[in-house]
Amino acid sequence: MNPLIRAEVVIGENTKQLLIERNVQLDQPAIKVRNINASIREITTDVILDKVVIQGVLHKQLFYVGEDHVVHHQAEDIPFSTFVDIPGAEMGMNVDVNPQIETVIFNLLTDSIVHQKVVIEIFVKVTETRQLNVEIGDGPLLSVDQVVGENTKQELFESFVTLENPAIKIDDITVKIQNLDMHIIEGKVIIQGVIHKQIFYIGTDNIEYHQAEDVEFSTFIDIPGATPGMDVEVIPTIEFVHFELLDEYQLLQKVVVEFFAKITENVQLNLVLGPDVLLKVEVVIGENTTQILEENAVTLPINTIKVREIVASIQDITTEVITDKVIIQGIIHKQIFFIGEDNLEHHLAEDIPFSTFVDIIGASPDMNVRVDARIETILFELEDERTLRQKVVIEFFVKVTETEQLSLTLVSPYGSTFF
C-alpha cells in the first residue's frame, strides 16, 4: 500500500540583495573606525499574492578609536523592510527566510560621522503543506510524517453567566480558544482547553460594559490507529455563537466549536524519485541509540523512614551537531515523595543537569537533529535517615537529517502512478 504523507511542496524560492546605506553620528570624535559587526534580528514575514514581505532589524556594533586612543563602542539598530517575488505564493503558505550579511563597508567622513553601507542577501523559500500519496521504492531514505488518520467533530458548549451590572441588551460576544492541550490514547485524541469570551453589553444606565469569561472544556475525537507517542495537530474553529439575555443579570450562551484533528507518525521510507512534485524533505543521514546512567545522592530536609516514589522527567533538551557526533544536554527533573518520622508524606524537587553524546557517522554542523529521550529505570535507596541515593537510566534515540529538495513520484489514491 502506498503511504499517505504530510509534506511541504515547494511553491518557489528566490534571492534578493538589499543595500542599507546610512551616516551615523559618533558619540565622541574618532581618529579611526576599527570594525563594524552586523547581524540581522527580529525577522518577520507576511506572504501575500506572489510575494513575501520581509521586515527586520539590522543590528550593528561599531568599534572606533577615539582621540584619547581608546577603543569605544556604539550600537545602532536600523529597521528595514523589503519584498521578494515568489510566483504562486499565497496567504497561509509556509515561508523560510535566510538573511546573510554579504558586505559591510564603512568610511570615516569626519571625526564624528561614519558613512556605512551594508549589503544583505535574503533567500526566501515558500512551501505549502499537503497530503500526498507517494511510491515506495529504491530511492533515498527520507524522514517523513505519515498520516495515520484524521477526523472532525463538532461540540456544543452551553453556559450561564451572571453579569456584573443589570443589562438591557447584549451588544456582542467575541470567542476564541486558548490554552489548547492534546493527549493521545489508543484510538482517540483527548482535547482540553479554555473558551475565552469577551462580553459587551448595554447596562440599564445606557453605558456599554465589558465582562470576560473563561470556560474550561474537554472533549475527544476518535482516530483509529492513534497511539501514544504519535504527533497530533488540532485546529479548532468557532462555528456559531448564540446568546440570550434571560433577565437583567442572567445570560445564556451557546458556542459551537468544530475540532479538526490529524495524527501523524514520523517514519523512514525509501521513496521513488520522479517528476511529479518538488518537495522540501529530510534526507536521513544516520541514527543511533545510547543510554546513560546518572547517579547522585541528595540530602533530605527531615529525617525519613521511607521513600514512597520518585517521578522523573527530561526537560530543556538542547543539541549540537559536530562532525560525526551529536552532543545532548538537558535536565533530569525529579519529584521525590517520602515519609518523615512524623508519618506525613513530604515532597522535594530536584534538578540534575546531564550531558552525553551519540556517534552518527556523516553528521556535520547545520544538519537537523531529532532526539527522543525516555527514562528507562529509576532506582533509589535510603542509605540513612537523611541520605537518598538515586540512579536514573535514560535512553536517547537520535536521528540526524539534512534538508533537501527532491522531486518524487506520486501515486493516485486508486493505485496508479501519475504521469
pLDDT tens profile 231-279: 999 999 999 999 999 999 999 999 999 999 999 998 999 998 888 889 9
pLDDT in tens, 205-215: 999 999 999 99
155 and 61 assigned to the same domain: no
pLDDT at 135: 87
70 and 159 assigned to the same domain: no
Q: How far is it, in rounded angstroms, from Cα 210 to Cα 164?
A: 9
Q: How far is it, in rounded angstroms, from Cα 303 to Cα 340?
A: 6
Sheet holding 304-322, edge to edge: 304-322, 325-340, 345-359
Angle at 156 between CA 155 and CA 161, to 5 degrees: 140
Instruction: Specify whether the CB–CB gap between 97 and 122 falls below 8 A.
Output: yes
Domain boundary among 77, 97, 129: 129
The count of other CB atoms within 10 Å of the CB of residue 365 is: 8
Could you tell me which of 36, 34, 76 has the C-alpha nearest to residue 58?
76
Instruction: Specify whether the CB–CB gap between 80 and 86 falls below 8 A.
Output: no
On the question of pLDDT at 298 being above 70, the answer is yes
Q: How far is it, in rounded angstroms, from Cα 370 to Cα 400?
A: 7
Q: How far is it, in rounded angstroms, from Cα 140 to Cα 281?
A: 11
For residue 120, tell me if it sits in a domain: yes
Q: What is the CA radius of gyration of the chain?
A: 29
Q: How far is it, in rounded angstroms, from Cα 80 to Cα 16?
A: 14
On the question of pLDDT at 416 being above 80, the answer is no
On the question of pLDDT at 112 being above 80, the answer is yes
Is the pLDDT higher at 47 or at 138? 47
CA atoms within 13 Å, Cβ hemisphere of 415: 1
- The pLDDT > 90 percentage for the chain reads 86
Which cell is 242 given?
A: 448564540
On the question of pLDDT at 29 being above 80, the answer is yes
On the question of pLDDT at 414 being above 70, the answer is no
pLDDT at 2: 76
pLDDT at 418: 40
229 and 201 assigned to the same domain: yes
CA 203 from chain center: how many Å? 43
Q: How far is it, in rounded angstroms, from Cα 379 to Cα 295?
A: 9
Mean per-residue pLDDT for 36-61? Answer: 94
pLDDT at 354: 95
Least confident stretch, 8-17, 170-179, 346-355, 408-417: 408-417
Q: How far is it, in rounded angstroms, from Cα 54 to Cα 47?
A: 9
Sign (positive/negative) of CA torsion 170, 176, 180, 185?
positive
Q: How far is it, in rounded angstroms, from Cα 51 to Cα 88?
A: 8
Residue type, 343: N
Mean per-residue pLDDT for 157-173? Answer: 94
230 and 316 assigned to the same domain: no
Q: Which residue has the cell 554579504?
A: 102
For residue 362, tell me if it sits in a domain: yes
184 and 295 assigned to the same domain: no
Instruction: Specify whether the CB–CB gap between 207 and 198 falls below 8 A.
Output: no
120 and 51 assigned to the same domain: yes
pLDDT at 415: 45
For residue 211, tell me if it sits in a domain: yes
For residue 3, tell me if it sits in a domain: no
For residue 112, tell me if it sits in a domain: yes
Domain that holds residue 305: 282-404
294 and 394 assigned to the same domain: yes
Which cell is 28 given?
A: 565622541
Domain boundary among 129, 162, 183: 129
For 121, the 3-state DSSP assignment is strand
Domain boundary among 265, 299, 319: 265
- pTM here is 0.72
Which letter does DSSP use for residue 416 in this model?
P
Burial class (CB in 10 A: 0-12, 13-18, 19+), 393: middle
Angle at 408 between CA 413 and CA 261, to 5 degrees: 50
The confidence band for 1, taking pLDDT boundaries of 50, 70 and 90, is: low
Q: How far is it, in rounded angstroms, from Cα 396 to Cα 382?
A: 28
Instruction: Specify whether the CB–CB gap between 99 and 82 falls below 8 A.
Output: no
Least confident stretch, 227-231, 353-357, 410-414: 410-414
216 and 120 assigned to the same domain: no
190 and 124 assigned to the same domain: no
Mean per-residue pLDDT for 303-310? Answer: 94
Q: Encode 134-155: b = buried (16+ Cβ within 10 Å), e = exposed.
A: bbeeebeebbbbbbbbbbeeeb
For residue 2, tell me if it sits in a domain: no
β partners of residue 402: 283
226 and 252 assigned to the same domain: yes
How does strand 345-359 pair with strand 325-340? antiparallel
98 and 198 assigned to the same domain: no
Count of H-run helices and E-run strands, the chain: 0, 18
- The pLDDT > 70 percentage for the chain reads 98
Q: How many domains does the chain have?
A: 3
For residue 103, tell me if it sits in a domain: yes
75 and 165 assigned to the same domain: no
pLDDT at 413: 56
For residue 275, tell me if it sits in a domain: no
β partners of residue 179: none
For 347, the 3-state DSSP assignment is strand
Which cell is 134 given?
A: 507517494
The confidence band for 134, taking pLDDT boundaries of 50, 70 and 90, is: confident
